[in-house]
Each structure stands twice: as structure tokens, then as C-alpha cells.
């Protein structure tokens, strides 16, 4: 009975104050409409969706068919997606966009204020998102008051992600390339040393080399010198064969490293939006009016409760 009485009493209070409550709700709706139209900035959304490609496609072993095996997938795996996503959310990339598009000025951040760098980063981070979609693609999106600028920033992010992704992947190839180049230099020195030794032996012991029916014939006036010459000649042939093979691999690696194909497959390129994404004015108005109604109801109930308490004292 007490509960029923309290509910009835509350309803009577609401009906008693219905006019002021309705007036407050209407005023709040009008105020919210004015604020959403004239005060709140309009934000436009631009986004781009892409997949990382399998960089093994550009590897020399596949480009020059030096290995055989199962078919290679064009798109990358989950590790590739996670690497690209990490790059897209990295601090250096955000700093690059902030500096490139002069967002400090665009966001009207006072550079004389304390922690202004933190403020511009927080504002950009609030409007920026790079996520993995349910289909294992990467989606980059940016809100901005300028639709053209939003699209330009998203495309710049994608380009920078592609650049950094290719750099990290090619870094290991560059190290292998540098090691191979150093090995070639050392091996060339060895070959030159063998050649010089052969020339010295040939001059000292009157050694002559001829070919008969595909067989190399070595002749000279000293048997031990001839045998030494033959052994060195075999080493030279093997060293030259290995040297040529490494030079060939080096040239293939150079082509692989310089391959300029994108490491990303862009499904959707960012374009300037033709309509705002937020604020959704009717939502702002409805929520404001609903919040005002709740606060008003609580307020009038408290007012009446205070009156009752005073009357009982």
C-alpha cells in the first residue's frame, strides 16, 4: 500500500508541475537546436580500407623462379595485417600527419600554452581511427570539419603506411644484399690472387695450357709445379663459378629491392564526404530534452519532499 501511495503521490506532483516541466523541456529543445546549428562544428568522415599484400611476391626466389613449391597467396597473413595496423597507429605516423597538414594551426591550438603538443595529438587521436575489420582488412578513418582535408589526410596515412611497411620489409633484404656484396668483393680478391699465382707459375716453369677434346692439358718442365698449377686452376674455376652465381643473385636482389609495387591493396580510397557525419542534430535535441525531463522530474519530487519535511517539523 505504501508503494502504491508513493507512486500516486509522485504522479500527483508531476501533474501539479507539468506546465513548468513542459516549459523547461521545450526551452532545452530550442537551446539544443540553436547550439547544434550555430555553435557545434560539423564533422565530415573520410575512410579508406586496404589489405596488406604478400611481400614474398616480390622476392627474388619467386620473381626469377629459383624455387618451386605451392602457389603463393597475393594477400598477406594475420602477421602482415597486425604489422600494418601497428604502423598505422604509431606515434611517428601521427606526428607526420600533424606536421604535414599543419594541424596545430588547423585545430587553432595556442602554441604559447602549456602542453600544446599534447593537446594537438589528443585532438587528432580523438578524430582518427585505424582498426582491423571483421574481414581482416585495415580501415583508416578521420573526422574533420573540412571534408577535402579529411580525405587528403586519410590518403596520406595510407601512403605513409605503405612506405614504412615496404621499408621494414626491405630492410632485411638490404642487409642480406650488403653482406652478399661484401662476400663478392672478398671472393673477387681470392680469384685475382689465384690468377696471379697461376701467372707466376706459368712464367717460372714454362707452363702451357691447351685444350684437346674438351679436356684441359697442362704441360711444363716441372712435374710438381704442373700439379700445383692444375690444383690452382681447378680452384679458380670453382671460385669463378661461385662468384658469377653470387653476382647473379646480387643483381636479382637489387631488382627485388627496387621493385616499386605497393605493399597494400587498396579496396576503398578516401574521397571527400558530401554530407556531415556529426553532429546528428535531432539526436542532440532529443537527448537534451530527455535529460531535461529526467532532471526536472527529480527536481520537483525533491522540492515537494522538502516541503513535506518542513511541514512535519
- Taking only the tens place, the pLDDT of each residue in 250-261 is 877 777 667 667
Is residue 135 within 8 A of residue 93, CB to CB? The reply is no
Largest CA distance in the chain: 137
pLDDT > 60? residue 37 = yes
Distance (Å, rounded) from C-alpha 92 to C-alpha 157? 11
List, edge to edge, every strand of the sheet that includes 128-132: 128-132, 138-144, 44-52, 264-268
How many angstroms separate the CA atoms of 303 and 297, rounded?
Answer: 10
Residue 155 and residue 125 in contact, taking contact as beta carbons nearer than 8 Å: no
Residue ranges of domains in the chain: 18-40+279-301, 41-278
215 CB neighbour count, 10 Å cutoff: 7
Higher pLDDT pick, 142 / 12: 142
285: how many CB neighbours lie within 10 A of its CB?
Answer: 19
Lowest-confidence segment of 53-67, 73-87, 254-268 by average pLDDT: 53-67
Mean pLDDT of 235-257: 82
pTM value is 0.65
Residue 10 has pLDDT above 60, yes or no: yes
Beta bridge partners of 51: 265
Q: What value does the mean pLDDT take over residues 102-119?
A: 92
- Regarding predicted confidence, which is higher, 11 or 117? 117
Question: What is the grid cell recorded at 297?
Answer: 522530474
pLDDT at 139 over 90: yes
- pLDDT of 143: 95
Distances (CA, A) of 205 to 89, 219, 233: 72, 9, 15
Helix intervals (H) in the chain: 2-16, 18-34, 60-63, 78-88, 91-100, 103-106, 116-127, 147-205, 223-258, 281-312
Assign 5 a pLDDT band (cuts: 50, 70, 90): very low
How far is residue 64's CA from residue 29's CA, in Å, rounded to a whole number? Answer: 70
279-308: per-residue pLDDT in tens?
777 888 899 999 999 998 888 888 888 887
How much is the average pLDDT of 90-108?
94
> Does the pLDDT of residue 2 top 50, yes or no?
no
Neighbouring residues of 222: CB distance < 8 A, sequence distance ≥ 6: 205
Q: Is the domain covering 41-278 a CATH 3.40.1350 domain?
A: no
**Cα angle 76-79-85, degrees, rounded to a multiple of 5:** 90
pLDDT tens profile 183-215: 889 889 988 988 888 888 888 888 887 776 667
Q: Is the Cβ–Cβ distance between 160 and 96 less than 8 Å?
A: yes
- Mean pLDDT for the stretch of residues 151-170: 90
Q: Are strands 44-52 and 128-132 parallel, antiparallel or unpaired?
A: unpaired
- Distance from chain centroid for Cα 17: 58
The torsion region of residue 11 among left (phi > 0), alpha (psi -120 to 50) and beta comes to: alpha
Residue 3: band (very low, low, confident or very high) from pLDDT cuts 50, 70, 90: very low
Listed in sequence order, the residues at least 6 apart from 210 whose beta carbon sits closer than 8 Å to its beta carbon are 216, 217, 219
- Residue 166 has a CB neighbour count (10 Å cut-off) of 19
Amino acid at each position: 500500500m505504501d508503494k502504491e501511495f508513493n507512486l500516486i503521490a509522485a504522479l500527483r506532483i508531476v501533474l501539479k508541475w507539468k506546465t513548468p516541466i513542459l516549459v523547461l523541456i521545450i526551452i532545452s529543445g530550442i537551446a539544443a537546436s540553436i547550439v547544434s546549428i550555430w555553435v557545434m562544428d560539423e564533422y565530415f568522415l573520410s575512410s579508406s580500407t586496404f589489405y596488406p599484400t604478400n611481400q614474398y611476391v616480390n622476392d627474388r626466389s619467386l620473381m626469377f623462379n629459383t624455387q618451386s613449391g605451392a602457389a603463393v597467396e597475393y594477400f598477406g597473413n594475420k602477421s602482415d595485417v597486425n604489422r600494418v595496423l601497428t604502423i598505422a597507429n604509431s606515434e611517428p605516423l601521427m606526428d607526420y600527419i600533424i606536421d604535414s597538414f599543419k594541424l596545430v594551426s588547423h585545430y587553432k591550438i595556442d602554441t604559447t600554452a602549456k602542453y600544446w603538443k599534447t593537446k594537438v595529438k589528443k585532438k587528432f587521436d580523438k578524430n582518427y581511427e585505424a582498426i582491423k575489420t571483421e574481414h581482416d582488412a585495415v580501415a583508416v578513418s578521420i573526422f574533420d570539419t573540412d571534408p577535402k582535408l579529411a580525405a587528403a589526410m586519410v590518403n596520406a596515412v595510407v601512403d605513409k603506411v605503405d612506405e614504412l611497411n615496404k621499408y621494414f620489409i626491405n630492410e632485411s633484404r638490404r642487409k642480406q644484399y650488403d653482406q652478399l656484396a661484401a662476400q663478392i668483393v672478398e671472393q673477387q680478391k681470392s680469384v685475382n690472387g689465384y690468377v696471379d699465382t697461376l701467372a707466376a707459375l706459368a712464367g717460372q716453369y714454362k707452363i702451357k695450357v691447351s685444350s684437346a677434346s674438351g679436356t684441359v692439358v697442362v704441360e711444363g718442365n716441372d712435374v710438381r709445379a704442373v700439379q700445383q698449377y692444375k690444383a690452382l686452376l681447378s680452384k679458380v674455376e670453382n671460385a669463378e663459378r661461385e662468384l658469377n652465381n653470387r653476382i647473379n643473385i646480387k643483381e636479382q636482389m637489387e631488382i627485388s629491392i627496387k621493385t616499386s609495387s605497393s605493399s597494400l591493396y587498396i579496396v576503398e580510397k578516401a574521397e571527400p564526404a558530401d554530407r556531415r557525419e556529426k553532429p546528428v542534430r535531432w539526436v542532440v535535441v532529443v537527448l537534451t530534452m530527455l535529460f531535461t525531463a529526467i532532471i526536472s522530474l527529480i527536481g520537483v519530487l525533491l522540492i515537494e519532499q522538502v516541503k513535506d519535511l518542513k511541514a512535519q517539523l
